[in-house]
Chains A and B, each alone.
Chain A
Amino acid sequence: AQSVSQHNHHVILSEAASLELGCNYSYGGTVNLFWYVQYPGQHLQLLLKYFSGDPLVKGIKGFEAEFIKSKFSFNLRKPSVQWSDTAEYFCAVLGGRDDKIIFGKGTRLHILP
């Protein structure tokens, strides 16, 4: 069965700091990978996704993620965070014959102004 592990449950950064949120998944076959974001009081929305091709994918609001197949990882990065990036971030995987997307437990990101 697929699973997703997010290493950090709570991250606190100052504005302009660089961000990297870790995500590892367990599935040996072809996977589709996602990062979702949930801003305070809002619904989950897609940040970026990887289906195939270039392993470095760019999403909205300056976020990017790199798929490293050998490490089963899909880490989320942003060179310089803003206060408005305060939110909860979820890594998710879709793989195999299942059509269900499996989410990690989430990382709560708090940016200090």
Chain B
Amino acid sequence: DAGVTQSPTHLIKTRGQQVTLRCSPKSGHDTVSWYQQALGQGPQFIFQYYEEEERQRGNFPDRFSGHQFPNYSSELNVNALLLGDSALYLCASSLGAPSGEKLFFGSGTQLSVL
């Protein structure tokens, strides 16, 4: 039973570029949450997708957008990259709202913006 898988594992971009990160949830899960974990910080909630719609959003600018597909997989897009966007981006899946089921985390995508 595959857990949460994220791709790519590492990515290097330059300022101003755009990036797309991908996530496949754990089998049987229908909700995907995205987190940004900067060095030395805890994960910060970006947004959550359920039934192909953004259900919750954290304090992130509109440069951060996402999508969920009918097979529950999800993408995180970041436009006009800034140096401060360098971080580990974590995807977590759950069955329904996280309150009813624990979150399963992927290993993350390490994004470096030069």
Contacts and interface: CB of A to CB of B under 8 A. Distances in A.
B66 interface: no
B44 A103 contact: yes
Interface string B98-114: 11001101111000000
Contact-residue size bin, chain A (C-beta under 8 Å from the other chain): 20 to 34
Interface stretch (A14-22, A40-48, A64-72, A79-87): A40-48
Nearest to B58: A100
Contact of B97 (A34, A43, A92, A99): A99
A106 B105 CA distance: 16
A94 B44 contact: no
Contact of A49 (B35, B55, B102, B105): B102
Contacts of A8: none
Contacts of A100: 33, 45, 48, 56, 58, 98
Interface string A100-111: 111111100000
Interface of A: 4, 6, 32, 34, 36, 42-46, 49, 90, 92, 94, 98-106
